[in-house]
Amino acid sequence: MLERALVGVRARRRLVGRVVVVAIVLVGAVLVGRDWLATDRATAQTDDRLRAARHDLAVTSDDHDAAVAEVEALRATLEAELATLTTRQGEQEAAQGAADATGAALAELQGRLAASTADLAASTGRLATLQECLVGVAEALNQAAAGDTGGLGTTMREIDGTCAAAGAEL
């Protein structure tokens, strides 16, 4: 019986050993399964964050491309406006040169006009003096035709200075 009892103890020990091994394996499997599920959730979350980051990166890239295109368009517009400004400045300088030349020509014409006006005034004065001389000459001729030699001499002396001022020599 002892042997039987020993066999029974040994069988129980084997059974307990097997139960302990199975329990350890089950506990290990539960722990590994739990860790695997946690790793799977973490991987899924990481994948979600990676997709979101890729989406954000694509949106940012599109925004960057749009901003670059806008800057290039603004740069082209600026260059065109600078070219227009340069053209307008050249036109302004040419117009200023023309205005200066026209001003100089106007000043010359005003000087000529002033000289012509002075000549006209002088000529008008000489014309009036000449008319006065001619009136005196006509009177002297009438006196000569009438035979009034005394009046003729007096008239000639009176108009001599006037006719000399008018540029006519008697």
Tell if the pTM clears 0.85, that is, is over it. no
A 10 A CB-CB count for 89 gives 10
pLDDT band at 70 (very low <50, low <70, confident <90, very high): very high
Q: Please compute the mean of the pLDDT values over residues 8-22 and round it to a whole number.
A: 81
C-alpha 148/C-alpha 130 separation (Å) is 24
C-alpha 39/C-alpha 47 separation (Å) is 12
Q: Please tell me the number of Cα atoms within 13 Å of 32 on its side-chain side.
A: 6
Share of the chain above pLDDT 90, in %: 41
User: How does pLDDT run across 101-145, given as a tens digit for each residue?
Assistant: 899 899 999 999 988 888 888 788 888 888 998 999 999 899 999
pLDDT band at 1 (very low <50, low <70, confident <90, very high): low
Q: What is the pLDDT of residue 87?
A: 93
Q: What is the pLDDT of residue 165?
A: 86
Q: What is the pLDDT of residue 86?
A: 93
In the DSSP assignment, the letter for residue 86 is: H
SS3 content of the chain, % helix, strand, coil (to 5): 95, 0, 5
Looking at the predicted structure, is the pLDDT value of residue 51 above 80? Answer: yes
Task: Write down the domain spans for the chain.
Answer: 2-165
* Mean pLDDT computed over every residue of the chain: 88
C-alpha 15/C-alpha 128 separation (Å) is 162
